[in-house]
A and B are shown apart, each in its own frame.
Chain A
Amino acid sequence: MPLKTYERPYLRKLNAGLGNKFGTRNSQVPVTEIDGVPVAKLMEEYGSPCFVLSEQTIRQTYRNAVRAFSTRYPKVQMAWSYKTNYLNAVCRIFHDEGSWAEVVSIFEYRKALANGVPGTQILFNGPDKSEDDLRTAVQHGSLIHIDHLDEVYLLSEILASEGLKARVALRINMDTGVYPLWDRFGFNYENGSAWTAVTKVMAQPRMELVGLHCHIGTYMLSAQAYAVASHKLCDLADEIRKQYQRRIEYLDLGGGFASGNTLKGSYLQGSDVIPTMDDYAEAITSTILQHPFAMSGEIPTLYLESGRALIDDAGYLLGSVLALKRLGDGRRATIMDFGVNLLFTSFWYEHRISPAQEYSSHHEDMVLYGPLCMNIDVVRENVSLPLLKRGDRVVVHRVGAYNMTQWMQFIQMRPNVVLIDRQGQVHLIRRRETVDTLNEMELTPLHLELGQGKPA
Chain B
Amino acid sequence: MKISQNIAISENGFLFNPATGDSFSTNACGKEIIRLLQEGQSQAQILEALQREFEVDQASLEKDLADFLYMLGNYRLLDANAQ
| A330, CB-defined interface residue at 8 Å | yes
| A3, CB-defined interface residue at 8 Å | yes
**Range class of the B interface residue count:** 20 to 34
8 A Cβ contacts from A310-358 to B? 324, 326, 330
Question: A-B contact count, CB below 8 Å?
Answer: 72
Task: Among A6, A12, A326, point to the contact of B54 (Cβ < 8 A).
Answer: A6
Question: Which residues of chain A have C-beta atoms less than 8 A from B60's C-beta?
Answer: 6, 8, 389-390
Q: Can you list 10 A-B contacts (CB < 8 A)?
A: A3-B55, A6-B29, A7-B28, A7-B29, A9-B33, A12-B24, A13-B22, A14-B23, A14-B24, A330-B74
Starting from the known contacts A4-B28, A11-B26, 4 additional A-B residue pairs (CB-CB under 8 Å) come to: A9-B64, A9-B67, A11-B75, A330-B70
Task: Among B30, B67, B72, point to the contact of A326 (Cβ < 8 A).
Answer: B67
A39-B46 Cα distance, complex, nearest whole Å: 36
B53 adjacent to A4 (CB under 8 Å): yes
Q: Which 8 A-B pairs have the closest CB atoms?
A: A9-B30, A6-B56, A3-B55, A8-B64, A9-B68, A6-B54, A9-B29, A330-B74
Question: Which residues of chain B have C-beta atoms less than 8 A from A10's C-beta?
Answer: 26-27, 29-30, 68
A14 adjacent to B25 (CB under 8 Å): yes
Please judge, given known A-B contacts A3-B55, A326-B70, A330-B74, whether A9 and B24 are in contact too, CB under 8 Å: no
Chain A residue at smallest Cβ distance from B52: A3
A113-B77 Cα distance, complex, nearest whole Å: 67
Chain A residue at smallest Cβ distance from B32: A9
A13 adjacent to B24 (CB under 8 Å): yes
Please judge, given known A-B contacts A326-B67, A326-B70, A330-B74, whether A11 and B30 are in contact too, CB under 8 Å: yes
| A444, CB-defined interface residue at 8 Å | no
A4 adjacent to B27 (CB under 8 Å): no
CB distance from B29 to the nearest CB of A (A): 4
A7-B30 Cα distance, complex, nearest whole Å: 9
Please judge, given known A-B contacts A3-B54, A4-B54, whether A11 and B71 are in contact too, CB under 8 Å: yes
Please report the total number of A residues contacting B with Cβ < 8 Å: 21
| A362, CB-defined interface residue at 8 Å | yes
Please judge, given known A-B contacts A4-B54, A6-B56, A389-B60, whether A11 and B72 are in contact too, CB under 8 Å: yes
A13-B21 Cα distance, complex, nearest whole Å: 11
| B1, CB-defined interface residue at 8 Å | no
Chain A residue at smallest Cβ distance from B56: A6
B55 adjacent to A4 (CB under 8 Å): yes
Please judge, given known A-B contacts A4-B55, A5-B54, A6-B56, whether A12 and B26 are in contact too, CB under 8 Å: yes
CB distance from B55 to the nearest CB of A (A): 4
Question: Which residues of chain B have C-beta atoms less than 8 A from A9's C-beta?
Answer: 26-27, 29-30, 32-33, 64-65, 67-68
Task: Among B25, B55, B61, B72, point to the contact of A12 (Cβ < 8 A).
Answer: B25
A330-B73 Cα distance, complex, nearest whole Å: 10
CB distance from A153 to the nearest CB of B (A): 67
B27 adjacent to A362 (CB under 8 Å): yes
Q: Residue among A8, A324, A362 with the most chain B CB within 10 A? A: A8
